[in-house]
Structure 1
């Protein structure tokens, strides 16, 4: 190959390579971590996109449409009739038989205020469905708050596990130095090194618990494929409640949507009972008619009145009376349930607060003090290996139990908010 041809091939190769480089997409930068969400943001996101809640909302809209049907009035009827309409055989021939045709308009008129009671029943039923929708919202909010608190607990437990693992690795490194210096035997070092697997296992299990809590929270958001970078922010420190148990009971009776739905169902049953009574009244049908018989015209009016001799709607009257009594007992049961739920939630919260107080004011500090002293003593050769490992296990257990106790206080607060259908904490 001549030098000139070689330079031509090189130039062509350089052009192709430059084109390939220009067409190669630049690497996509890694996605930035999502900003941590608060409890209020998590609740708002679930209320906006949870498919189960959206399904209930559409059902409420369907029930609301029944009010349109209940308010409709009876349609009039138009009847057209003709006979004897024959065509002549020739254009100039006289017509056949005298023709006859008529037009009749009739309409049924309801008595007993049936339309009013239908509207009252439909309105009360729609209100009850709306209250049940709010109750579904209440249940979803409780589930989101619980999942959010569990994720906060899992996140804090992972931080504790990683802190313990990092701290124990320092002990292993220090023990390795002491082994090399001849201060401890190989058996003592192996026993220390073997304990590290427990801390590593704790960290792995804590990571798994965090991922599962994140997936559970995102399921309530309506996410079909959970993202791995969801993060939450908040505190597990137990707060002080601004109300008493009696005030909580009053809030529950005033705000619980299921109790309100029971009362609205009673209103609907009472309207149905009145409608059944109205159904025993007679509804006349008024009609007017115009007739054309040949060259004669006529006009008439008629009234049809059913004779309610046998069927006076006795069955519906009896059924709706029992339904009303049933709804009245259901209201009493719903009220008792509200009081019971509030009282049980309050007692659970009181127990959780006392347990968390014991950990936070005494046991946690004491366990940390013992751990630090034995860690210092062991690293300086003044404590046995068994004492040091026992102090580490005790501290790990107390720390995790303290976090769980704090989380239990928050779960109890969420349960009390659920029982009262209000925001317990401002």
Structure 2
């Protein structure tokens, strides 16, 4: 748009640099052309369906389901057949007596409510695995919100820096016109040219940051093949503050704390199961024996009962280990409650600080920087101020706009972290 005003010599260089600006803007347009517009709820739905970390947590749940089936199994019976005196000759009349065959079956019976205790423990671990899955979902939702708003930040940053590069191109063109008119020194034009080159580098670097943000979000959604098409279209979230009173109530409702609590219950059942091993199981057997003394078939039936004798080991080690495991589960529960309390306090503090920062930018800083830059551009175009003054105003506007974008992104991520920190089992289960 400024090519027709370029002066000879220095203007030729300006033509090529303006072409670079146009190329950057065209690259932005071409990158956005096949874009896949993605709202945050759509991204959350894709996360639940495709995320690899969630898939691994589902496999752990399926394994816990299988463990409960195993825990409910009853002891299998044992059937055996034994044959003796095969082709044994009678020593008196040299007659064959035939084989002595014994059929037997033995069935163990558990005592001491061992099966019920196993089922209770496995059920607790099954619920813990479910809560572990919900905790992974809680964490991944926070990561997703961070990655989503990182992408939105990268998009707006790339747009801002591309516009900044275009404005510096206009400033350079105006400086060259004043140089041609003899109103500006070549050294001042060179200073404008340096800032112009920096603006081009910043615009190109913003494109690389945009690609990285797309790749990070695509991994979470398992959409790597479509990474370059992803575009965040959600608006920046409205400002809200953290409620410190709600933080304390949210601790026990969190899935990680709930999982630790169910593991304590499972550890208590496993301790009871270890103690129950001292209750002797009983094995009842029955047998049928058939033999042919003197060629005459003869049969007999019998029953038997067997119980273990604790002559070498009375399971005291198993009981001690189960008791230690229970205390370890209690320690883990206390630790996770403390972690949850600290996480909630930190998330609340970060959210309130980020909200205050956004309010300052939107309340005064952005407006003042825009007004200052517009006044400087107008004054410079009329020759009322020096090139250094307009460059300072341009740098200030650029810095404030980028800081405001960063503040909005920080707030959006802090809000996601706060919501994740206080997410309950019920709210996550509804997803």
User: TM-score with structure 1 length normalisation?
Assistant: 0.85
SS of equivalent to 1:228: helix
* CA offset digits 1:286-337 (Å, max 9, x no partner): 1112222333322222111223355321111111112112211221221122
SS of equivalent to 2:230: coil
Whether the aligned pair in 2 keeps the contact of 1:238 and 1:409 (CA below 8 Å) is no
Shift of 1:83: 2.6
> Does residue 315 of the first structure (1) align with residue 313 of the second (2)?
no
**Alignment partners' CA distance in 2, 1:230 and 1:315:** 57
**Alignment partners' CA distance in 1, 2:209 and 2:227:** 15
Aligned position for 2:10 = none
> Does residue 280 of the first structure (1) align with residue 282 of the second (2)?
no
SS of equivalent to 2:80: strand
Please list every run of 5 or more consecutive structure 1 residues that lacks an aligned counterpart in the other structure: 1-29
Residues 145-224 of structure 1 aligned to structure 2 (within 5 Å)? 145-224=145-224
**Alignment partners' CA distance in 2, 1:57 and 1:260:** 17
Aligned position for 2:19 = none
Shift of 1:186: 3.3
**Alignment partners' CA distance in 1, 2:143 and 2:32:** 29
Instruction: Choose which of 334, 350, 353 in structure 1 pairs with 2:352.
Output: 350
Shift of 1:209: 1.0
Shift of 1:339: 1.2
Aligned position for 2:105 = 105
> Does residue 384 of the first structure (1) align with residue 386 of the second (2)?
yes
* CA offset digits 1:18-48 (Å, max 9, x no partner): xxxxxxxxxxxx9961331111222222332
**Alignment partners' CA distance in 2, 1:245 and 1:75:** 57
Shift of 1:99: 4.4
**Alignment partners' CA distance in 1, 2:374 and 2:368:** 10
**Alignment partners' CA distance in 2, 1:98 and 1:232:** 87
> Does residue 43 of the first structure (1) align with residue 44 of the second (2)?
yes
Whether the aligned pair in 1 keeps the contact of 2:88 and 2:98 (CA below 8 Å) is no
* CA offset digits 1:97-142 (Å, max 9, x no partner): 2643221111111100011111111121222122222222222222
**Alignment partners' CA distance in 2, 1:246 and 1:100:** 82
**Alignment partners' CA distance in 2, 1:383 and 1:293:** 123
Whether the aligned pair in 2 keeps the contact of 1:249 and 1:420 (CA below 8 Å) is no
Aligned position for 2:257 = 259
SS of equivalent to 1:253: coil
Structure with greater Cα Rg: 1
> Does residue 370 of the first structure (1) align with residue 368 of the second (2)?
no
**Alignment partners' CA distance in 2, 1:409 and 1:84:** 88
Which one is further off, 126-135 or 270-279?
126-135
**Alignment partners' CA distance in 2, 1:99 and 1:174:** 116
Aligned position for 2:288 = 290
**Alignment partners' CA distance in 2, 1:343 and 1:411:** 16
**Alignment partners' CA distance in 2, 1:240 and 1:147:** 20
Aligned position for 1:301 = 303
Provide closer, same or farther for how the CA distance between residues 364 and 40 of structure 1 changes in structure 2, counting only shifts above 3 A: same
**How many pairs does the alignment contain?**
389
Which one is further off, 397-406 or 228-237?
228-237
Residues 68-147 of structure 1 aligned to structure 2 (within 5 Å)? 68-86=69-87, 96-97=96-97, 99-147=99-147
The two structures, once aligned, show a CA RMSD in angstroms of 2.4
Whether the aligned pair in 2 keeps the contact of 1:253 and 1:420 (CA below 8 Å) is no
Whether the aligned pair in 2 keeps the contact of 1:135 and 1:257 (CA below 8 Å) is yes
* CA offset digits 1:256-295 (Å, max 9, x no partner): 2211111111111111101001111111111112222333
* CA offset digits 1:160-186 (Å, max 9, x no partner): 112222223222223333333333333
SS of equivalent to 1:36: strand
* CA offset digits 1:142-168 (Å, max 9, x no partner): 222111111111111111112222223
**Alignment partners' CA distance in 2, 1:220 and 1:35:** 16
